[in-house]
Chains A and B, each alone.
Chain A
Amino acid sequence: MKIVVTGANGYVGTRLITIGDKHGHVIVVASRQPPIIQENLWIPFDIYKANLIELPSGTDAIVHLAANTLLANNTDKKSEINAAVNLIKAAKEVGAKFIFVSSQTARSDAPTAYGRTKWRIEQEVLSAGGWVVRPGQVYGGELRGLFGTLVSTVRRLPLLPAFIPAPKVQPIHVDDLAEGLLRIAERGDVPPDVYCLAAVAPVSFSILLDTIAKSRLRCWRGFLPVPVLVINALTFILGEKFRTRLGLERLQSLFNLPVMETRPDLNQLGLELRPLRSGMHPSGNDRRRRLLREGQAMLGYILKERPGSAVLRRYIRVIEQLRGGQALDLPKLFLGYPIFLSLLDESSWTNKITSAEYLWRLDAATVLAEATPVGAYRFLGRGHGVLYSLFSMTHAVLCEVCWRISRMLFSPLVRLTLSQEKGIL
């Protein structure tokens, strides 16, 4: 398909181009500046120069991402609406689908001009038979857009505000959003309408910040409770000028975010969103991280000490090269305290395949752990004399007995924990 993307150099736009290319589409970039990715066709487009834009012939769809997030004055609003109207016309001329990326804040009575403008454009799009997408809180990938601002804020501040009552956001990974937009463009069975794309269950804003800290920045941040009432009072006391300058309006719009019902729309597009924690990882998923934790647990269990990084990397490569690369997703108890792996054996799992996979990985961890200098001490011993050997053998047998008893006692519990884990278990 030939898809024109406005605002293609932006946060969502760059990902849309990359993923669109992967889907095998011809992406035409419509932007002020020539595209970052040189291979794509470029047509100049600026929302403030509202001259009629001519779309290339054979355009199948246009995704309108270009927007001004600040909207300083009325002229700005007007030209933004104007640009959209012109684009809708151009799309009609070539018979292309028009897909407009709006905002969760779009409402006729939104606290920000941004939200109100989006709502106005939405009306134009819908009346012209186009598609509207309202994304939730977009995150992940490059540090751009509001997400970039949030990450740099978390990086800078040692203490973060925890608003009370906590506002709720519905995150969506930038790649999942791009995928959703492409599905609307590609599929014929998606009727023109407003589509809300975001996590089904809202998470509190503090959790979002905390996840940024932990998964993206790998740091710890404290939280300072800030009552929303105080912010509201400030907004009321300070005039409009100060409100805008301090960004209090944007905070207001955060507090007033309507909860979107996203399940039907996600189902309609067949879109499955990645969990926040895996999407927040710099790579866009935390597959490797989960493998790393599994490797730490397995090797740690064998070696009785923290495994070195080289052998850990080897474990990950083994699973990636020979076993499909997905972690078993062992419950936290086992990841944190590898000694509890002693509770697991063939009968702990409900299905044989997983049980066999666990045993395979345990064998792999044994072989890898042994083939290290640390493993040489652990596995070979060096002949410590009769008493030491006798003691260590008796100790091993006694431990075995204890774990067998514990396994019997905790068997139902272990089975329950394992069956609740997702992943490939």
Chain B
Amino acid sequence: MIPDFDVIIVGSGPAGVSAAFPLVEAGLKVLMVDGGKRPDIQPPEMDFLSARINDAEQWKWMVGKDFHALKMRDAVSPKLRVPSHAFAFDGFERSNKIEGKDFISVGSLATGGLSNSWGCGVARFSATEIAKFPFSASELELSYRRVSQRMGISGRANDDLSDYFGLDEDAQPAIPMDMLHTHLSQHYLNHRKKLNSQGFRLGRSRVAVLSEDMSGRQACNLSGNCLWGCQRHSLYSAVDDLPELYKYENFTKISGFVVDDLTRCDRYWSVSGQNTLSNERKTITANKVVLAAGTLATTRIVLKALDYRDTVPVLSCPTAAFLLWLPRLLGAPRLPGFGLGQLSFALALYDNITAFGSTFATTGIPLSEFARHVPLRRRYSIDLLRGLLSSCVVGNIFLPGHLTVAGAKLGRDESLVISGKYDDKVMPLMNEAAKKVRKAYWRLGGMLLPGSFTVGRPGGDIHYAGTLPMRESSVVGETSPLGEVKGMDGVYVVDGACLPVLPEKSHTLTIMANADRIGRQLVVLKI
């Protein structure tokens, strides 16, 4: 029997496309399958502020024709309430039979996966972090460069975070900062020494957003629509890589195919699943299968194929958010600007733990998101915030993923149940972080608003990883240094599931680089 394809890649997110490029370039017959959800709401056509003032139909993209924002009232992140992102998260848990217990489990059935809706944070893992991978740092080096150049990164700056991010050689210049962030960074220069000695380092955020046009995508024009959908495709999404892949005749893609079973037949693998539209079942065979369905979905496919009933660990970064007020800029005008991370900070905490965070402008975020949390009567919380918010920035903060103690287990009904809580160390660490953030930003002319530092719920970071970690010598439930699942020869995990560590910094770029590395090595192995 001749299999239908050389390789089937499950998932079209950042990991899937990154693994696809080397395989396709080497002439292998590659099939990519995904859930196929596509956006159905047009992003605003004007810049955010003009659209707010002029567009009588703004509710369609702010609230949604089906009142999506209200249906998702209790969701953890404002992003989950944005109607134009709804397609990215829609139906994931149901179709993939994934269930979070006291744990937020989010994934995507969309073409391009979660990269349709990400914060675009990118960073390289440090040498110490890569030391925990079962291969040498140099093996990732080329892959980091390849994916960075392909996706387009901005934020190049010779600052205190250059080493932390390690991306400047392949980065475009930074996108201009707004008045508030300029103020913060200027003050930082004056107090740098002191702050560094306290373990606080500040620098430009490195983000997968274009500041210069690149391969059909346009540079950011500060429209402020980052949260609502960027018409210019300045923000990287894996969808942007698909046209390049389609150019290869040996690349095929099927949309609306949700994989639920992997079976060995003869010397091949057959992948079967459900067509989400026609509900038809389909089975396709290939020599090798590359799993890039996103950490949770990939984990379920593997555990089910292995019939593995023990709990596997889930890494996930504890998070917190805060609001910072710059009194000197009170009454600043609302101006269009970049809506994602403008400045980032790394903060040394006790026990050699580093926290990472970024700050954002508040303009592109609905004021109702803040008003709900202000302990004032609604009418006056709006009054207060309208005067206050134009001189505020919002910040987030991440701790390393091993501080969430979570696990995933295949239930009797074949659904994957994720449960977990924060490690006991998290609260003291967060308290320390809050104290240090308050102190550091006070020097920069910012005031951490009392009561605004809020610790998120477990899983709320949506940075899941490490369920099937790569190990030098793997046992069942782990993967080889090539991501090959122990007990399933020819099945490779290339997404977050195979990362052996999850540091506090953004991990997407590393997932992509690792997928690229595995893809290239599969070519070398001549499958």
Binding site for B on A (CB under 8 A): 301-302, 304, 310-311, 314, 317-318, 321-322, 339, 341-342, 345, 360, 362-364, 366-368, 370-373, 376-390, 392-393, 395-397, 399-400, 403
Contact = CB atoms under 8 A, between A and B. Distances in A.
Given A364-B70, A383-B390, A396-B387, A376 B52 contact: yes
A317 B332 CA distance: 37
Interface in B37-64: 49, 52-56, 58-59, 62-63
A403 B71 CA distance: 31
Nearest to B53: A376
Nearest to B332: A383
Interface stretch (B249-257, B377-385, B448-456, B492-500): B377-385
Interface in B357-406: 363, 366-368, 371-372, 376-388, 390-391
Given A371-B62, A396-B383, 5 more contacts: A322-B67, A339-B379, A380-B334, A386-B330, A392-B386
Given A371-B63, A393-B387, A366 B378 contact: yes
Contacts of B66: 321
Nearest to A383: B333
B366 A390 contact: no
Contact of B368 (A311, A363, A381, A382): A363
Contacts of A304: 379
Nearest to B61: A371
A367 B70 contact: yes
Contacts of B372: 363, 366
Contact of B331 (A302, A318, A384): A384
A181 to B, nearest CB: 41
Nearest to A323: B70
Mostly, the B contact residues are helix
Contact of B387 (A371, A390, A403): A390
B67 to A, nearest CB: 5
A393 B58 contact: no
Given A321-B67, A366-B371, A395-B383, A390 B62 contact: no
B367 A379 contact: yes
A380 B363 CA distance: 8
B379 A360 contact: no
Contacts of A367: 62-63, 69-70, 366, 368
Interface residues on B, range: 35 or more
B49 A380 contact: yes
A373 B56 contact: yes
26 contacts: A311-B59, A342-B377, A345-B377, A360-B73, A363-B368, A366-B378, A367-B69, A370-B62, A370-B368, A371-B63, A371-B366, A378-B386, A379-B366, A379-B368, A380-B363, A380-B386, A381-B390, A392-B384, A392-B387, A393-B384, A393-B387, A396-B381, A397-B380, A399-B380, A399-B383, A400-B377
A301 B367 CA distance: 16
A379 B386 contact: yes
Contacts of B59: 311, 314, 368, 371-372
Contacts of B391: 389
A116 B91 CA distance: 69
A388 B332 CA distance: 11
B223 to A, nearest CB: 15
A372 B384 CA distance: 19
Given A304-B379, A318-B70, A367-B69, A382 B333 contact: yes
Contacts of A366: 368, 371-372, 378, 382
- Top 10 nearest A-B pairs (CB, nearest first) are A383-B333, A396-B383, A389-B387, A376-B52, A371-B62, A371-B59, A389-B331, A381-B386, A386-B331, A396-B380
B445 to A, nearest CB: 15
A368 B63 contact: yes
Contact of A400 (B49, B56, B67, B380): B380
A391 to B, nearest CB: 8
Contacts of B330: 386, 389-390
Nearest to B58: A371
Contacts of A372: 56, 58-59
Nearest to B383: A396
Given A373-B56, A377-B53, A399-B380, A382 B331 contact: no
B67 A342 contact: no
Nearest to B62: A371
A373 B58 contact: yes
Interface of B: 49, 52-56, 58-59, 62-63, 66-67, 69-71, 73, 330-334, 363, 366-368, 371-372, 376-388, 390-391
B201 to A, nearest CB: 31
Contacts of A311: 59
A371 B368 CA distance: 10
A384 B390 CA distance: 10
B388 A393 contact: yes
Contact of B52 (A317, A373, A389): A373
B52 to A, nearest CB: 4
Contacts of A321: 66-67
Nearest to B49: A380
Best-buried of B332, B381, B387 by chain A (most CB within 10 Å) = B387
A381 B53 CA distance: 11
Contacts of B73: 360, 363-364
A302 B70 CA distance: 16
Given A301-B378, A370-B366, A400-B377, A322 B387 contact: no
A393 B383 contact: yes
B383 A392 contact: yes
Instruction: Tell which of B53, B366, B386 has the most Cβ of chain A within 10 Å.
Output: B386
A163 B386 CA distance: 57
Nearest to B366: A370
Given A366-B368, A396-B387, A390 B331 contact: yes
Contacts of B376: 396-397, 400
Which of B63, B330, B379: most chain A CB closer than 10 A? B379
B331 A387 contact: yes
Nearest to A360: B73
Contacts of A396: 376, 380-381, 383-384, 387
B325 to A, nearest CB: 11
Nearest to A344: B377
Contacts of B379: 301-302, 304, 339, 341-342, 399
Contacts of A376: 52-53, 58
Contacts of A368: 59, 63
A392 B391 CA distance: 14
A376 B382 CA distance: 12
B46 to A, nearest CB: 12
A366 B377 CA distance: 12
Contacts of B384: 392-393, 396-397
Task: Output the residue of B52, B54, B71, B390 with the most chain A CB within 10 A.
Answer: B52
Nearest to B391: A389
A415 B216 CA distance: 62
In the complex, which of the residues A302, A366, A377 has the most CB atoms of chain B within 10 Å of its own CB atom? Answer: A366
Contacts of A360: 73
Contacts of A400: 376-377, 380
A384 B333 CA distance: 7
A396 B368 CA distance: 16
B57 to A, nearest CB: 9
Nearest to A318: B67
Contact of A373 (B53, B333, B367, B368): B53
Nearest to A308: B56
Contacts of B52: 373, 376, 380
A378 B389 CA distance: 13
Q: Which of A376, A388, A390 has the most CB atoms of chain B within a 10 A radius of its CB?
A: A376
Nearest to A397: B384
Given A384-B331, A392-B387, A322 B70 contact: yes
Contacts of B67: 317-318, 321-322
B337 to A, nearest CB: 13
Nearest to B371: A366
Contact of B367 (A314, A362, A380, A386): A380
B370 to A, nearest CB: 10
